[in-house]
Structure 1
Amino acid sequence: MKIDLTDTTSSRINNALIQARRAIGTPAVGMVLTLVIVTDEGSAYDALKAAGEASREHPSRIIVVIKRPGRSPRDRALARLDAEVLVGAEAGTGETVVLRMHGELANHAESVVLPLLLPDAPVVVWWPENGPKNPAVDPLGSLGQRRITDAAAAEDPVGALADRAATYAPGDTDLAWTRITPWRSMLAAALDQRHSKITSAGVEGEAYNPSTELLALWLADRLGVEVSRKVTDGPGITAVRLLTADGDVCLDRPDGRLAVLEMPGQPDRHVALKRRETSELLAEELRRLDPDDIYRSTVAFGVKHLVDRVQGGGAKGGDKEGAPVAAKKASPATPVRKAETAK
């Protein structure tokens, strides 16, 4: 069921939601959270599609915020709220409200969204494109227990990642981090099988790829060794090499789908390591709403490194050999454990 509302208010939108649920006989109970998506008109369709697929695992009220402040002074002076209310088959397993805020109202989006949040349910705020520099102090971001950005969608991905590192607050996360969960799990499992001292490591992947940077920072932080960064043609992350006293451990994924795990004294193994869709990444982040301590540790370790790269022009990634990530001096070169990769 779809209801279009023009020049409306939050109160009328809430009434429309109640009427729609009564009309189709669907109660509000069963929804576990409110997902607020802050995007523009061009990205709204893809973001809503991804959120709808993720809601099959996490039934939720999805609120899409599209700001249209206007270009001329006259347009900016006119405040108007238009809305679409979707309930039932058109909204997946939950319900969806699409808000288009015109004029001055676009600068006060939180006042419109707040009355529409599910009572006594957690709130997650997601910016599919160009998130704020400091999500925790953003007016909409301050409404959420979790705040999800995507550095890969920014014009300067490594610069955006440096902002995430410099302004981290409990509850922040980034889909660039979520993308490396399978890599971290696979590497942790490999090192649990072979307890060898790691002397250095290397990460290979595309330029402008924040996930590659985060994986290198995570290895440097966890292992206490220097991690080199090599730029390749991709797609995404293509290989991780861990140098040990007994030989190299290599996880190589040249095609973005299937990886080969090479370990000393063992036959090569093929493992599924495909690049995941946005809906899968979003569903993973919605599985837990407490702060991600491993992400916090990684970005805290990488603050100076990332800022130095951006200020020194390293964000463009034009060199085939990137600057190595220095190890944390106090950390011993110890294997990564499976527990440290849990998300």
Structure 2
Amino acid sequence: MESARSGRHDGSRWPPVEDAMSTQLPHQLLPGAKEVPFAEIEGTLSRLVQDGRRRSRAPARSLTATVVVVGEPARLVSAADALAQLGEAGGVRTILISQGDQPSPTALVTEHSIAIAGLAPRYIDNAVASLRLSSLPALVWWRGGSIEALDDVAGLADRLVLDTESPDETWARAQTFLEETAVTDLRWARLTRWRALLAHLFDLPRVREAVASFNRLSIDAADVPAARLFAGWLQTSLRWPSSNQISIRRVSADGKSPLERVQLEGDRLTITLHVPSTRTCLHASVGGEDGMARVVPLGDGALTALIGEELGIRTRDLAFERALGAARELSVS
């Protein structure tokens, strides 16, 4: 992954520190953090790194990327926890930003993490451009906020990971970034086991012979946008016409999997994938025959595992991009 493009608003400068402590971030977001004005962030980082090196008497940990998280304060806490666990295995500089109306708000700083509370959207790209490590890849983890700010930070990202509860607006805007930035949605990572298992079934001769006959897809999902992505992937992979039937039904579940059941039907064959009552695996069957059944672990759906997987991806995902375009056209029936 090449380093991200740099840039700020032309002519814009950080204003003098005003009311620096008027917007507060919970200290549990970054335990043990120092509270500083924006202008003192880099100097504080340097001192903390030096102090940590003296205490441990070991070389400073090598950083591999900048991860920028933008979202509501409550969603920053879970992201910070995930990245803290990830940081134990490999170093990243973490920048956590919640939006507000402050041009220069409170910052919390630890050795490799920064949290900025209540930052006005027009200054978010300035903050990212100033604090990211320009020589290393930059991943922007978008957990919600001003769509105009998304426009600005997308140009500074090598990889943009969408992760909003209601994604339609961000999906629409993200399609304008596809030629400039590698874009994905964290739901796509949650669907990896489902996509891989269904694709594996298409290696079976009986399934390959029935490909042209498949014309109906029904999905029971705890996360309807994820179901739309899955349906969009299958629709574009099989080159289905718009006349084929796709049905998505919202169901209640425990949150371990975005989908509960997928059924692909045709005149010759039916394929069913579902999460059984054990909630630990994913089961697939072809035509109801036990001899053609497959079972795989459900996988680790924790935020740490998902964002760690995204950090390891360096290129555009054309399958996701096609699925995204199709998903935007799907409605829930």
Common fold: TM-score over 0.5: yes
The residue that corresponds to 1:7 in the other structure is 37
Task: Give the residue type in structure 2 aligned to 1:67.
Answer: Q
Do the aligned residues in 2 keep the contact of 1:180 with 1:215 (CA within 8 Å)? Answer: yes
Does residue 100 of structure 1 match 2:124?
no
The equivalent position to 1:181 in structure 2, one of 173, 183, 192, is 192
Does residue 85 of structure 1 match 2:109?
yes
Structure 1 unaligned blocks of 5 or more: 70-75, 88-94, 310-316, 323-343
> Relative to structure 2, which stretch is displaced further, 40-49 or 54-63?
54-63
Does residue 229 of structure 1 match 2:252?
no
C-alpha distance after superposition, 1:119-156 (max 9, x if no partner): 42100011223573784x32x232110111114x23xx
C-alpha distance after superposition, 1:156-207 (max 9, x if no partner): x455544545664441111122211111101111111232222224131237
The residue that corresponds to 1:261 in the other structure is 284
What SS is found at the alignment partner of 2:136? Answer: coil
The residue that corresponds to 2:98 in the other structure is 66
Q: Name the CA distance, whole Å, in 2 between partners of 1:161 and 1:205.
A: 22
Task: Give the residue type in structure 2 aligned to 1:6.
Answer: V
TM-score (norm 2): 0.74
Q: CA deviation at 1:234?
A: 4.1
What SS is found at the alignment partner of 2:203? Answer: helix
Q: Name the CA distance, whole Å, in 1 between partners of 2:104 and 2:169.
A: 35
Do the aligned residues in 1 keep the contact of 2:67 with 2:92 (CA within 8 Å)? Answer: yes
- Trace 1:1-343 onto structure 2 (pairs within 5 A): 2-9=32-39, 10-24=41-55, 25=57, 27-28=59-60, 30-69=62-101, 79-87=103-111, 95-100=112-117, 107-130=122-145, 132=147, 135=150, 137-138=151-152, 140-151=153-164, 153-154=165-166, 157-158=167-168, 160-165=170-175, 168-169=178-179, 170-194=181-205, 195-198=208-211, 199=213, 200-206=215-221, 209-225=224-240, 226-235=244-253, 236-244=258-266, 246-253=268-275, 255=277, 256-264=279-287, 265=289, 266-273=291-298, 276-303=301-328, 305-306=329-330, 309=331, 317=332, 322=333
C-alpha distance after superposition, 1:186-237 (max 9, x if no partner): 1111111232222224131237621100101111100123352231424331
Task: Give the residue type in structure 2 aligned to 1:221.
Answer: T
What SS is found at the alignment partner of 1:80? Answer: coil
Taking only aligned residues, the RMSD between alpha carbons, in angstroms, comes to 2.9
Structure 2 unaligned blocks of 5 or more: 1-30
Task: Give the residue type in structure 1 aligned to 2:113.
Answer: T
| Identity value in percent | 20
Change (3 A) 1:301 1:166: farther
Change (3 A) 1:184 1:295: same
Q: Name the CA distance, whole Å, in 1 between partners of 2:106 and 2:203.
A: 55
Q: Name the CA distance, whole Å, in 1 between partners of 2:225 and 2:235.
A: 15
Task: Give the residue type in structure 1 aligned to 2:261.
Answer: A
What SS is found at the alignment partner of 2:80? Answer: helix
Do the aligned residues in 1 keep the contact of 2:45 with 2:110 (CA within 8 Å)? Answer: no
Do the aligned residues in 2 keep the contact of 1:239 with 1:252 (CA within 8 Å)? Answer: yes
- Number of residues paired by the alignment? 286
Do the aligned residues in 2 keep the contact of 1:161 with 1:210 (CA within 8 Å)? Answer: no
